[in-house]
Copies of this chain bind each other. A is one copy, B any other.
Amino acid sequence: MKPAPKPAATKAQMQRLLDSERFLRPWKFRLIRADGQECVVALPNSPSLERPGGIVNGPALMAAADVAMWLAIKSRLGMAHDALTSDLNTVFLAPATTKTVYCTARILKVGARRFFGTAECHDRSGRIFTHHTLTYVRVT
């Protein structure tokens, strides 16, 4: 794979999106980095995310994967462009109980209309909680 292109969006622009979109605000996602190919977001754990058993609920981890890939694409195309999720497959591998969940998304293929990539939710040491594959379709 070729070296990542220059990010087409700044970290501040992308964090602002996470903070301003009403549907995203409750998650309190924090952008760690996004370089046009790979994106890492942090999801702070809290009692409001816990399902019975004291583990982070599954939709929260799928949201993290969806958002991390969305920002990976924004960081490649620029904030004015948008893409919609067309497929998101998730495998839950281990319960997430850490204070912070990280999600790393990687674009593996950029087509004329479709983006394909993978994402993983993991802890700080790289222990994997979930594995995802995602396809996005460019709309603007």
Point out residues on A near B: beta carbons under 8 Å: 1, 21-24, 26, 47-53, 57-60, 62-63, 66, 82, 84-95, 108-109, 111, 116, 118, 126, 128, 131, 133, 135, 139
Contacts and interface: CB of A to CB of B under 8 A. Distances in A.
Nearest to A1: B126
A102 to B, nearest CB: 16
A51 B26 contact: no
Contact of A82 (B53, B116, B118, B135): B53
A92 B82 contact: no
A50 to B, nearest CB: 6
B109 A93 contact: yes
A88 B52 contact: no
A57 B59 CA distance: 12
Contacts of A58: 66, 85, 88
Contacts of A24: 57
A1 B2 CA distance: 25
Contacts of A51: 21, 23
Given A126-B1, A131-B133, A85 B89 contact: no
A24 B50 CA distance: 9
Given A48-B22, A87-B87, A63 B53 contact: no
